[in-house]
Amino acid sequence: MSAGCCTRNSVFAPTKPTLSWKFTLPTKTLPPLRKTTKRFAVFATFISSTKPTVLVAEKLGEAGLNLLKKFANVDCSYNLSPEELCSKISLCDALIVRSGTQVSREVFESSGGRLKVVGRAGVGIDNVDLPAATEHGCLVVNAPTANTIAAAEHGIALLTAMARNIAQADASIKSGKWQRSKYVGVSLVGKTIAVMGFGKVGSEVARRAKGLGMNVIAHDPYAPADRARAIGVELMSFDEAISTADFISLHMPLTPATSKIFNDEAFSRMKKGARIVNVARGGVIDEEALLRALDSGIVAQAALDVFTEEPPAKDNKLVLHENVTVTPHLGASTAEAQEGVAIEIAEAVVGALKGELASTAVNAPMVSAEVLSELATYVALAEKLGRLAVQLVAGGSGVKSVKVTYASARGPDDIDTRLLRAMIIKGVIEPISSVFVNLVNADFIAKQRGLNMIEERITLDGSPENPLEYIQVQIANVESKFASAISDFGEIRVEGRVKDGKPHLTKVGSFGVDVSLEGSIILCRQVDQPGIIGKVGSILGDENVNVNFMSVGRIATQKQAVMTIGVDEEPSKEVLKKIGNIAAVEEFVFLKL
């Protein structure tokens, strides 16, 4: 799906080039935001009488270099120190790196505004300062697809090597020993493997595991059930998957939601003797907890390609453990994958230098100050409503469709909702995904993940001074962790408004509430009776959890009520358990913003 195109007239000058461009979508002509407001200004580059210069700071495949050389002057300077990189960058229009080069704020500042594109040859962009890139008008692109097969193959290689003790037996025989009885392995056929993360790599691993005669289950909140069924895979909740599997293969991104998700508690719910493969991100595993699980026998073996700290320390106990097979982050290390990544990133960088909008863009495009000034609080509201809605979905219910309703006193042509839609997609997808969603790639990412976005506008009577009266987000055909979030029409529904310049949650399901969307939120449904607010407040106060907002919405006096509590800190599990144990509390859920 093409996000759009840029057309411009400009001549590059070494001082201050004058640029003009317009942004259009191929499907329709965009309405103006308001007569007095400019359209969104999107990243654009110059057409120069001389070739642009691309600095390649880490080794790139020849195919990619040849592509770059057809369009630009290419400077291959490897192993630059931070000072050397800052010194060279003011002469470059684009920079290509892998994971070993830190593209810091100092790099963008040193570029003097000339640097237009940073290309990361690979998926992760932890080494690029995205806020600094956006502030300096620099687009960041990556290459997320070329190494899919290589990573899947490496996952299967580690799976089979672990099951048959290949690495340990190899080391043993090379040391002069012959220990056939010590290295008796386990068979894969007929065993159950849980693929945790059913994206590109996870689904390829699933296909290959099926070919090995394994029963494949998977966990991924966004995986379409029909795609899983087509491969012969059953989708399950996180807890169901890890407690059922004999083998667990990790393909989850590292996000705040997945950081150390495999911890002592998770290991305790696994089958005794489970085996784990990780070719995703080291940080999804609590390495000390895994070590304890290995020593206790809960986990029989582990095969790891990635680590929290890379390279790991020489005395790392997990690396040295006899029942652990390790490789030095080789997931993408095949000749074919390296060439594919080189071509993918070269095409993205050249396209960006031509002014095209790449679907692999990972930072927000430049937006006019006037637009941001008016929509800033609504942008925050949209993202937080998306985050709230998706957290209310029970595990295993795949999210297939999101409906967004905008209510406004303005005419339908007086507001462009692209940025708001992008922020709702961002809120729904980013918490458990490695992608970065913005105006450039939001629709592409939603389509790629099978997420159908439906937008509806309601025109209200009133003053058009404010762009919107409220935003409502609905997710249909899913189960909810909090039954009261289900509206009378059967879908999860959250609604919010901007009050006093701040985003507020104003409706959950059919219950009216009023709570500032700051910090995090606890939702409680309870019998409407005196003293409940005091009991919950006391529990939180006793644990030094600060309450910043509290609101109660009810159906009728002495009937059911929903209490919405805004908290500054994340309560401990013990605190949440105490709230749940209050006799009048029928259900509750904690939601991170």
Q: How many Å apart are CA 576 and CA 580, to the nearest integer?
A: 6
136: annotated active-site residue: no
pLDDT of residue 53: 97
Q: How far is CA 531 from CA 198, 298, 552, 577, in A?
A: 46, 45, 13, 18
Residue with tokens 């997945």: 258
Residue with tokens 């070590």: 291
Let me know: does 396 contact 236? Beta carbons within 8 Å: yes
Among 184, 191, 180, 246, smallest CA distance to 214 is for: 191
Please indicate, yes or no, if residue 5 is contained in any of the structural domains. Answer: no
Number of domains in the chain: 3
pTM for the predicted model, two decimal places: 0.68
pLDDT of residue 18: 29
Q: How many Å apart are CA 89 and CA 330, to the nearest integer?
A: 30
Same domain, yes or no: 399 and 450: yes
Please indicate, yes or no, if residue 40 is contained in any of the structural domains. Answer: no
Same domain, yes or no: 138 and 230: no
Please indicate, yes or no, if residue 458 is contained in any of the structural domains. Answer: yes
* Catalytic, out of 154, 275, 281, 449: 281
CA 468 vs. chain centroid, Å, equals: 28
Are β-strands 401-408 and 470-475 bridged in parallel, bridged antiparallel, or unpaired?
Answer: antiparallel
Please indicate, yes or no, if residue 14 is contained in any of the structural domains. Answer: no
Same domain, yes or no: 256 and 380: no
Please indicate, yes or no, if residue 11 is contained in any of the structural domains. Answer: no
Same domain, yes or no: 518 and 426: yes
Residue 511 in tokens: 């219950």
- The Cα diameter of the chain in Å comes to 86
Same domain, yes or no: 129 and 249: no
Please indicate, yes or no, if residue 13 is contained in any of the structural domains. Answer: no
Q: If you compute the radius of gyration of the chain from its CA atoms, what whole number of angstroms results? A: 26
* Catalytic, out of 310, 336, 543, 569: 310
Q: How many Å apart are CA 436 and CA 9, to the nearest integer?
A: 30
Residue 359 in tokens: 């679907």
Residue 93 in tokens: 């229009």
Alpha helix segments (H runs only) across 74-183 = 82-88, 105-110, 130-135, 148-163, 166-174
Among 479, 520, 464, 472, smallest CA distance to 497 is for: 472
Counting every residue written for the chain, the total comes to 593
329: annotated active-site residue: yes
Helix (H, G, I), strand (E, B) or coil at 129: coil
Let me know: does 402 contact 389? Beta carbons within 8 Å: yes
Same domain, yes or no: 344 and 380: no
Task: Find the CATH number of the domain harbouring 118.
Answer: 3.40.50.720
**Residue stretches of the chain with pLDDT short of 70:** 1-49, 357, 364-372, 396-397, 432, 440, 554-558
pLDDT of residue 580: 85
pLDDT of residue 103: 97
281: annotated active-site residue: yes
Task: Find the CATH number of the domain harbouring 434.
Answer: 3.30.1330.90
Please indicate, yes or no, if residue 18 is contained in any of the structural domains. Answer: no
Let me know: does 443 contact 420? Beta carbons within 8 Å: no
Same domain, yes or no: 217 and 122: no
Residue 386 in tokens: 């998306």
For residue 525, give the H/E element and its range: strand 520-527
Please indicate, yes or no, if residue 19 is contained in any of the structural domains. Answer: no
Range of the domain at 567: 369-592
Same domain, yes or no: 315 and 299: yes
pLDDT of residue 440: 67
Same domain, yes or no: 104 and 189: no
* Catalytic, out of 34, 39, 292, 329: 329
Same domain, yes or no: 267 and 300: yes
Q: What percent of the chain is helix, strand and coil (3-state, nearest 5)? A: 30, 25, 45
Residue with tokens 């390279």: 311
Same domain, yes or no: 252 and 394: no
Same domain, yes or no: 347 and 220: no
